[in-house]
Amino acid sequence: MRLGALYTYWVPLGFVLAVTIIREAVEEIRCYVRDKDVNSQVYSRLTARGTIKVKSSSIQVGDLIIVEKNQRVPADMIFLRTSEKNGSCFLRTDQLDGETDWKLRLPVACTQRLPTAADLLQIRAHVYAEEPNIDIHNFVGTFNREDSDPPISESLSIENALWAGTIIASGTVVGVVIYTGRELRSVMNTSNPRSKIGLFDLEVNCLTKILFGALVVVSLVMVALQHFAGRWYLQIIRFLLLFSNIIPISLRVNLDMGKIVYSWVIRRDSKIPGTVVRSSTIPEQLGRISYLLTDKTGTLTQNEMVFKRLHLGTVAYGLDSMDEVQSHIFSVYTQQSQEPPAQKGPTVTTKVRRTMSSRVHEAVKAIALCHNVTPVYESDGVTDQAEAEKQYEDSCRVYQASSPDEDESTGEITFYMKGADVVMAGIVQYNDWLEEECGNMAREGLRVLVVAKKSLAEEQYQDFEARYVQAKLSVYDRSLKVATVIESLEMEMELLCLTGVEDQLQADVRPTLETLRNAGIKVWMLTGDKLETATCTAKNAHLVTRNQDIHIFQLVTNRGGAHLELNAFRRKHDCALVISGDSLEVCLKYYEYEFMELACQCPAVVCCRCAPTQKAQIVRLLQERTGKLTCAVGDGGNDVSMIQEADCGVGVEGKEGKQASLAADFSITQFKHLGRLLMVHGRNSYKRSAALSQFVIHRSLCISTMQAVFSSVFYFASVPLYQGFLIIGYSTIYTMFPVFSLVLDKDVKSEVAMLYPELYKDLLKGRPLSYKTFLIWVLISIYQGSTIMYGALLLFESEFVHIVAISFTSLILTELLMVALTIQTWHWLMTVAELLSLACYIASLVFLHEFIDVYFIATLSFLWKVSVITLVSCLPLYVLKYLRRRFSPPSYSKLTS
């Protein structure tokens, strides 16, 4: 029953499995080590026995944890105490929400008043916290101290919460843990990472299934031609083993080793320094991306704003006239210092026209006060608040700020407010220039901020404060009640000025986006930022070209509104879409198919106010609806879900840390590197793997065709043509290196691929590896296998050993020549591989006397017969290739000629 030596079957299979398992194991071990490092970080826990050290993985709900400055918060906590004298601390939240400005956090008032941190263990108190949810911007809870007289109850909001993943930027804080593990806000906003299998691998698997079907059919045909004589079912098994070469076992090894080479080439590319390949299983995906989904903050922009315009209605100041603003403010303060003290008693005030200086002063004062700004002193790049008491040198002072919508001023009570023009238009008093000037500044790609103020009487403020405190203590519908109270102030405000600022773009964002567009890739920008900000950035980055209209999808809350807006959008053509996350949610709920159909036709889509889970949902919908490959790129912890969900995730290492880059399949240091990663490395990886896989299939089908011809000629006998080492050697030392050298092949130089991104478009149709190309290679294999075998039989020298010698030598030479025919750009390693393989075969003939007659191969008869057979099997294909290049050249050949 056994056909040939047993090792000819299990050695190739064992080698394939070993290579695959080792490669997967290396990546898993790297991931495990990274996770262990994070989970093993040590923190201090406050206990009755003093402070003890604890690993972050051992922290539990109810623990009192001390977090030092520049340490990452290990769990979701309520802020109880800080070492800062001002009774507050700043957080860096970039890994959570993608924003780099520092956020102000306030401790619970009654615990901050305690003399020492150890006193926290002496009080009797409990915390009420809402159920775990994904909202990172809001929190509802209460802190109740029961051992005081009377009992103290304080409301807890987002200002008192320290979410896991944020970093303490000032002082040392103590917090009580309220959520851990899967209940963490950051964890609930990330999806479970999936093991990504490339589309290319799925296509190869499909072709392998077809080959398996062919194996079964050929075996059945052979037995049928014997008229199912005798123990025909055993004959079927013998033929299945005999033709098992139809299924190319070495294909998996070649492709896996090819992926390792592609990863190495990407890492070694000096044009994209710092690029890391974290998942070596899907480099071919980079060559077939149809949709790119990108974050805005830190990815397209630098997280830095440049002040461009101050507009007061009648006059505007730009960067070139800021000295005028300075002189106006200087004159106001000079006049104030020279004025005599005000006389007591009633004074007659007349309605005096305010001077330009006073208007500029009022506007600049509002801009300055409408912030929470803290001076921080840095020495050698390390922030140190204690430096404030030692020195006041401007060189080491920096300002850090969060950006709330109110602040108090001394003297009279003034309510300052800033916001987007669409919101502020209904809040400020009527004027005739706001809308027009906002439109003008928006067209220039500037983000517009409207600044207004309102003077309050003491009674008005006291009434507001009482209602505000009461609303903040509410457990149910707190945010709605607080918003209602605040809205009572936000009316009939005095318009002070408009400010225009511009997002600083990352280097070469515009040419990179243009390259991607020309390559046939549609770009969607998904951001947590406001609609106005997102629209301005889309224009500024040329995500939306100048000749394209922008349709801003109005806010909808119900099915009817969504239906009307979709109809309005349907009437527009070649129009970019801007939509908010809330409106998107409604559209997807009622009209998912219709909305996705319209959105996919847009040249560009901008989704603003997107939650992390919503970003992932959009990626998933694109994959399901279009069946095309998606690539997601981002730089913050809020982009992790999107990166993991996409077919190909790219993380940008930037100001927002490494969370996105560690979760991604590919990590880059700048957005502009994405162009080369896709146009050059993605394109090459896909084309090389396509050529390699089809050649390995051709190699297997050739020898299987020869076996089929041999069995047919000898009355359908299940006798092997080649045995033992010949079978193993054929796919390893004799042809492996030349075939594998195809992973170094390229059709055009990298500079040409970058200059003509249109070349990338050809790959989106999947032509390098298709049923058509597969069929062509099958026909080539059948032709060459038949030619070699019939040629050897025709020139038969009356001994079976001579058939083996002639056919096997012709087969090896044919494979080497076919590799040379397939190569488009020669590399010196390819030449070495060809010559080395030929030398190995000639040298090994001495040891193959069991299968090949050594004396026969030294004769002139052997040489001319092998030469004729090889020529007949290869020459027609060379002629066909020449004619095709002559009369129907591929697009890339026009650029290389």
Residue 157 has pLDDT above 50, yes or no: yes
List 829's β-bridge partners, or say none: none
Indicate the DSSP class of residue 353.
P
Residue 263 pLDDT = 93
Q: What are phi and psi of 550, to 5 degrees?
A: -120, 125
Residue 19 has pLDDT above 60, yes or no: yes
Q: Which of 63, 94, 97, 295 is catalytic?
A: 295
Distance of CA 786 to CAs 188, 221, 709, Å? 61, 17, 7
Distance of CA 790 to CAs 229, 722, 762, 874, Å? 27, 16, 39, 15
Mean pLDDT of 133-155: 87
* Parallel/antiparallel/unpaired status of strands 629-634 and 648-652: parallel
Written as one string, the DSSP assignment of 283-324 is GGGGGSEEEEEE--TTTTEEEEEEEEEEE-SS-EEEGGGHHH
How sure is the predictor about 896, in pLDDT bands with cuts at 50, 70 and 90? low
Can you give the pTM of this predicted structure?
0.78
Residues 6+ apart with CB under 8 A from 547: none
Q: What is the pLDDT of residues 172-218, one digit of tens each?
A: 999 999 999 889 988 887 767 677 888 999 999 999 999 999 999 99
What separation, in Å, do the N-terminal and C-terminal C-alpha atoms of the chain show? 57
Q: How far apart are CA 343 and CA 341, in angstroms?
A: 6
Looking at 273-287, 829-843, 882-896, which range is the least confident one?
882-896
Q: How far apart are CA 597 and CA 577, in angstroms?
A: 13
| Residue 83: both structure tokens together | 């070492």
Residues 6+ apart with CB under 8 A from 854: 845, 846, 848
Indicate the DSSP class of residue 440.
H
Written as one string, the DSSP assignment of 376-404 is EEEETTEE-TTHHHH---GGGEEEEEE--
Residue 163 has pLDDT above 60, yes or no: yes
Residue 797 pLDDT = 64
295 tagged catalytic: yes
Q: What are phi and psi of 493, to 5 degrees?
A: -85, 155
List 376's β-bridge partners, or say none: 398
Looking at 58-62, 243-247, 681-685, which range is the least confident one?
243-247
Residue 7 pLDDT = 61
Looking at 238-242, 543-547, 763-767, which range is the least confident one?
543-547
**Other CB atoms within 10 Å distance of the CB of residue 387:** 17
Q: What is the pLDDT of residues 799-809, one digit of tens each?
A: 777 888 889 99
Q: Give the strand order in the sheet containing 413-419.
A: 316-318, 301-311, 494-505, 447-456, 413-419
Rounded to the nearest 10°, the torsion over CA 805, 808, 814, 818 is: -160
| Residue 596: both structure tokens together | 């996705």
